[in-house]
Structure 1
Amino acid sequence: MSVLSIVLQVILGLGFLMFGLMKFGSKQMVEGFKGYGYPGAFRVFTGLIEVIAAGLVIAGLWIDGLAAWGGLLIVVTMIGAILTHIKIKDQLKQMLMPIILLILGLVVFLINYGSLFV
């Protein structure tokens, strides 16, 4: 495993764990999802997916293949986030964080892709 992958896995894992847990009840997240036009259940579902992705990329430090699955889950989640920002006609600057996280998740996925088939 490369140093780049380890660093990205730790950063993404901790970040997605934090933001995923915030989706379970943070007032800011509750209001944000209302503004996006999504029900509370979807906010909780998104938080659960983010916590699972965080667990996968962190566990991928020790178990081959899990980082790739976590990276893929991050990519799919961030595509959804970007599409949401497009749907509500946000400016590009509101989409920068999901775009950056998508790229980082894609890098983790691509670095660890080969371990899926071992």
Structure 2
Amino acid sequence: MEYLIIALKLIVGLSILNVWLVRSKKSTAWRGGDAKNIEEEFKAYGLPVWFMWTIGTLKVVLAILLIASIFYPQVEAVAAYGIAFLMLGAVSMHIKIGDPIKKSLPAFTFLVLSLAIALL
């Protein structure tokens, strides 16, 4: 079970870092509305740019903490529950603007995986 949790932490943490640090200016099939990048996505949700920077910073920090929790288990709960909370917000934003369920799938998946990490 320990190796499964480590794998989940790496999958969730590295995926979030990829979205926010590598692919933030790229178009994907998962972006809300018709957004081509993260900034447009937050505008589609009706959220200001400063909020994008706040959420992005929180996600990057929590993703790093989740990966670090492989070696420092005391930060696991904060990282996993924090990511779950932010992913719940992401799913709710997709619902708010009427996105098809497909666009919510990554956020929902990371919500479930984060809760699994926290609870197992």
TM-score, length-scaled by structure 1: 0.85
Superposition deviation, residue 18 in structure 1: 2.0
**Mapped partners of 2:21, 2:50: distance in 1:** 14
Alignment gaps of 5+ in structure 1? 112-118
Could you tell me which residue of structure 1 aligns to residue 8 of structure 2? 8
Query: Are 1:55 and 2:64 matched, yes or no?
Result: yes
**Mapped partners of 1:39, 1:6: distance in 2:** 35
Q: How many residues align?
A: 110
SS at match of 2:113: helix
Could you tell me which residue of structure 2 aligns to residue 26 of structure 1? 25
RMSD between aligned alpha carbons?
A: 1.7
Q: 1:19, 1:47 within 8 Å by CA — same for their partners in 2? A: no
Could you tell me which residue of structure 1 aligns to residue 103 of structure 2? 94
**Mapped partners of 2:22, 2:98: distance in 1:** 24
Alignment gaps of 5+ in structure 2? 27-36
Partner amino acid, structure 1, of 2:44:
G
Of Structure 1 and Structure 2, which has the larger fraction of its residues in helix? 1
Partner amino acid, structure 1, of 2:60:
V
Partner amino acid, structure 2, of 1:36:
Y
Query: Are 1:43 and 2:44 matched, yes or no?
Result: no
- Identity among equivalent positions (%) equals 35
**Mapped partners of 1:71, 1:57: distance in 2:** 7
Could you tell me which residue of structure 2 aligns to residue 79 of structure 1? 88
Could you tell me which residue of structure 1 aligns to residue 34 of structure 2? none
**Mapped partners of 1:89, 1:75: distance in 2:** 21
**4+ residue runs of structure 1 moved beyond 6 angstroms?**
none
SS at match of 1:65: helix
Partner amino acid, structure 1, of 2:62:
A
TM-score, length-scaled by structure 2: 0.83
Partner amino acid, structure 2, of 1:29:
I
